[in-house]
Amino acid sequence: MNQTTPPAQQPCSATDPVATQRHVVFSHGQASGPWGSKISALAEIARSEGYEAHSVDYRGIDDPRVRIARLAEFCKELAGDLVLVGSSLGGYVAAASASMLHARGIFLMAPALYFPELPPLRAGIIDCAAAVVHGWRDEVVPFEQSVRFAQGCRAALHILDSDHNLHDQIRVIQHLFEYFLIALDLPVLARE
């Protein structure tokens, strides 16, 4: 069902205060699994920044509403800061769930946000820090969807020379994700 860490690794101790207060929850895409190469690479970064890494298993679930319900069920036991990370359909799930789950931030990779078969995202649904990474050569989800989303919620937008999987840019995405997590801890400067 849901996995907190990949099978080869041990979860953090329940007595570790950092492990119970900072969580990154990954939502994979339709054609991948909970511990694919991008999620595994970003989970390393999350752990290095003091977050416990979790990945929800959506295999066999095509309905985005059921995926959102699965994510909500998984996150209800997590206390403290929550960062949602999603790829492709998982990006849609993370964006649609962020406000409901009181996420501190969302990090989306090639998110499938504006397809007619998906329930439309509500205006103003993003009330947290957001960053989007997409590939110029994405053959599955047009990069224009990420431009539209980023423009609407003033998210950081990174368009890389890659395709939908972004596998050839994992190292760059790791750096972007690390910066995103660090920036969440920086004080907000008052705007004049």
Q: Within a domain: residue 14?
A: no
Q: Total domain count for the chain? A: 1
Q: Rounded to whole angstroms, what are the CA distances from 111 to 9, 88, 132, 163? A: 28, 4, 8, 12
| Average pLDDT per 10 consecutive residues for the chain, totaling 192 residues | 44 42 96 92 97 96 96 94 97 96 97 94 89 98 96 96 97 98 80 48
pLDDT of residue 17: 46
Number of C-beta neighbours around residue 37 at 10 A: 12
Q: Within a domain: residue 6?
A: no
- Give the structural domain span for 107: 22-182
Contacts of 33 (CB under 8 A, 6+ apart): 57, 59
pLDDT of residue 125: 83
- pTM for the model stands at 0.87
Q: CB pairs under 8 A, 24+ apart, for 138-141?
A: 138/110, 138/162, 138/163, 138/164, 139/163, 139/164, 140/88, 140/110, 140/112, 140/164, 141/88, 141/110, 141/111, 141/112, 141/113
pLDDT of residue 187: 77
The CATH number of the domain holding residue 46 is 3.40.50.1820
pLDDT of residue 78: 93
Q: Within a domain: residue 69?
A: yes
Q: Within a domain: residue 5?
A: no
pLDDT of residue 19: 43
